Structure 1
Amino acid sequence: MKKIAVIVFALGLLTVSCKKEEKQEIPAEEVKTEATGLQIVADSTQVSWTAYKTTEKVPVGGSFTQIELQRTQEGNTYQEVLEGSVFSIPATSVFTNNPERDGKLINFFFNALKNTELIKGEIHFKGDNTVLALTINGVTKDVPVETTFKNNKFAVNGVINLEDFDALGAVESINKACFDLHKGADGVSKTWSDVAISGSIQFE
Structure 2
Amino acid sequence: MKKIAFIALSLIVFAGYSCKDTKKEKEQTDTNSTVKTEQYSIVKDSTKVSFVAYKTIEKKPVGGTFTKINITKSTTGSTAMEALNGTTFSIPVSSLFTNDATGTRDPKLLEFFFGVMKDTELISGVFKTEANNTCSIDITLNGETANIPLTFEATSDNSYTFNGVMDLKEWNALDAVASLNKACEVLHTGADGVSKTWSEVAVKAEVLLEKK
Pairwise same-fold verdict (TM > 0.5): yes
Q: Write the deviation string for residues 5-36 of structure 1: whole angstroms up to 9, x where unpaired.
A: xxxxxxxxxxxxxxxxxxxxxxxxxxxxx994
Return the TM-score normalized by structure 1: 0.80
Unpaired segments of 5 or more residues in structure 2?
1-35
1:112 aligns with 2:116: yes
Q: Give, in angstroms, the shift of residue 165 of structure 1.
A: 0.8
Aligned partner of 2:48 in structure 1 is 46
In 1: Cα distance, 2:54 partner to 2:61 partner: 4
CA distance in 2 between counterparts of 1:122 and 1:90 reads 15
2:74 pairs with 1:72: yes
Counterpart of 2:194 (choices 163, 188, 201) is 188
> How far apart in 1 are the matches of 2:127 and 2:110?
25
The residue number in structure 2 matching 1:12 is: none
Distance (whole Å) between structure 1 residues aligned to residue 192 and residue 44 of structure 2: 47
Match of 1:19 in 2: none
- Aligned partner of residue 187 in structure 1, secondary structure: coil
Q: Give a deviation string over 1:92-137, Cα, whole Å, max 9, x none.
A: 1110012310000000000111101011110000222211001111
Q: Could you tell me how far apart the structure 2 residues matched to 1:41 and 1:164 are?
A: 30
Query: Could you say if the C-alpha distance between residues 65 and 42 of structure 1 is closer, same or farther in structure 2, counting changes exceeding 3 Å?
Result: same
Query: Which amino acid in 2 is paired with 1:38?
Result: Y
Partner in structure 2 of residue 26 of structure 1? none
Specify the code of the residue in structure 1 equivalent to 2:153. Answer: T
Distance in 2 separating the partners of 1:130 and 1:36: 22
Go from structure 1 to structure 2 and tell me whether the alpha carbon gap of 1:160 and 1:110 turns closer, same or farther (over 3 Å shift).
Answer: same
- State the identity as a percent: 47
> In the alignment, does 2:204 pair up with 1:198?
yes
Name the counterpart of 1:150: 155
Distance 1:154 1:166, change over 3 A: same
Instruction: Tell me the residue number matched to 2:176.
Output: 170
Size of the alignment, in residue pairs?
171
1:58 is matched with which residue: 60, 71, 76?
60
In structure 1, what is the Cα distance between the partners aligned to 2:177 and 2:126? 24
CA distance in 2, matches of 1:42, 1:166: 30
Give the Cα–Cα distance (whole angstroms) in 1 for the partners of residues 205 and 78 of structure 2.
Answer: 21
